[in-house]
Amino acid sequence: MFTPKYPPQDTAPPATTTPAPVQPATSPVPAPAPAPAAPIASNRPTVQLTSGSALALAAGGGAVVLVVGAVLVSMLLAVAITATSVAVCAVVLRSILNAERNR
């Protein structure tokens, strides 16, 4: 259950390069360029987005942004309310202590 599952390896043969032929220094004709290697076909599936799936993806991304924004704003509001209540408690305690000193 907890062992990693690796994807199957590509079955395409590895690309081989042929060495360029060596020409004598007295030859006036340059050596032909080697042919480019053929692209290796991959057996991995490609993801194709249709207009409906692109719209669903955009809507899902927008929903995530809205939810994360709402959570962050609510946390900021909770911190602000806590700070205000602590400040009010400090003012009340200071007032009570000053009233005790004056008696």
- Please indicate, yes or no, if residue 81 is contained in any of the structural domains: yes
Number of structural domains in the chain: 1
- Please indicate, yes or no, if residue 27 is contained in any of the structural domains: no
User: What integer pLDDT is reported at residue 27 of this predicted model?
Assistant: 57
Average pLDDT over residues 68-73: 98
Asked whether the whole model's pTM tops 0.95, one would answer: no
Residues 6+ apart with CB under 8 A from 41: 12
28 half-sphere exposure, CB direction, 13 A CA radius: 0
- Please indicate, yes or no, if residue 97 is contained in any of the structural domains: yes
Residues 6+ apart with CB under 8 A from 11: 43
Which domain range does residue 79 map to?
69-103
- Please indicate, yes or no, if residue 24 is contained in any of the structural domains: no
- Please indicate, yes or no, if residue 96 is contained in any of the structural domains: yes
Element (DSSP H or E) covering residue 51: helix 51-102
**Residue 89 pLDDT > 90:** yes
- Please indicate, yes or no, if residue 15 is contained in any of the structural domains: no
